[in-house]
């Protein structure tokens, strides 16, 4: 895999910050317009965007996409996600090729942000402010779609927290992913593990 140039790494970080700013402003708008919440209270309602997959583990390569999960308070719904957020994203000149896929097992908005492919999924939880780490209580009782999105974040956190040496894990996972792809055993369509499966197996070995 090609190592990511410094300039590309900076562009990824910039894209994530801009997306975070957009979603926070979008949620404040929902709170004020739909729930008639005073602006000062709406400021306190916060979402959070989490990365998952290879970007979260820092084993991504140049040109790879980023899997993201937007977790929001339960006043914000998947209907909002696929209507008003999509409209807002389409108003941004630096975001192109927006494809909402609402009927997938994990519904996502796929898009290209400043040349970087992003897959953004969504989950809402019963909190007005989303913590930096998700615990079991936070995701208990969610519907299937929200559970899948939130659990992807939770599993990534657990893997990183449980491996004894994160640098060894990253080096090993880079090798394992490249090895699996080269041998055609990196695909759930054919019954093989995908990224999260190989990450868990590598973490277990570590």
Residues classed as catalytic: 54, 65, 67, 119, 177, 186
Q: Which H/E stretch holds residue 195?
A: helix 195-205
The Cα 88–Cα 110 span in angstroms is: 14
- The owner of tokens 């895999």 is 1
Residue 51 phi, psi (nearest 5): -90, 150
Q: What is the dihedral of CA 23, 27, 33, 36, to 10 degrees?
A: -160
Question: Under 8 Å CB-to-CB from 202, ≥6 apart: which residues?
Answer: 169, 172, 173, 176
End-to-end CA gap in the chain: 22
């Amino acid at each position: 895999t090609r190592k990511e140039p410094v300039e590309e790494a900076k562009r990824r970080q910039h894209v994530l910050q801009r997306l975070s700013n957009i979603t926070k402003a979008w949620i404040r708008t929902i709170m004020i317009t739909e729930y008639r919440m005073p602006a000062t209270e709406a400021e306190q309602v916060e979402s959070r965007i989490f990365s998952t997959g290879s970007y979260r583990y820092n084993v991504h390569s140049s040109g790879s996409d980023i899997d993201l999960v937007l977790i929001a308070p339960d006043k914000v719904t998947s209907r909002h996600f696929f209507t008003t957020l999509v409209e807002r994203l389409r108003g941004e000149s630096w975001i192109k090729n927006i494809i909402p896929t609402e009927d997938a097992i994990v519904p996502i908005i796929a898009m290209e942000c400043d040349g970087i492919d992003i897959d953004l999924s969504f989950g809402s939880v019963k909190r007005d402010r989303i913590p930096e780490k998700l615990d079991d209580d936070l995701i208990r009782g969610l519907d299937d779609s929200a559970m899948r999105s939130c659990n992807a974040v939770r599993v990534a956190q657990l893997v990183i927290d449980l491996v004894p040496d994160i640098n060894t894990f990253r080096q090993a996972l880079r090798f394992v992913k490249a090895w699996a792809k080269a041998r055609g055993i990196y695909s759930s369509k054919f019954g093989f593990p995908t990224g999260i499966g190989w990450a868990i197996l590598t973490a277990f070995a570590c």
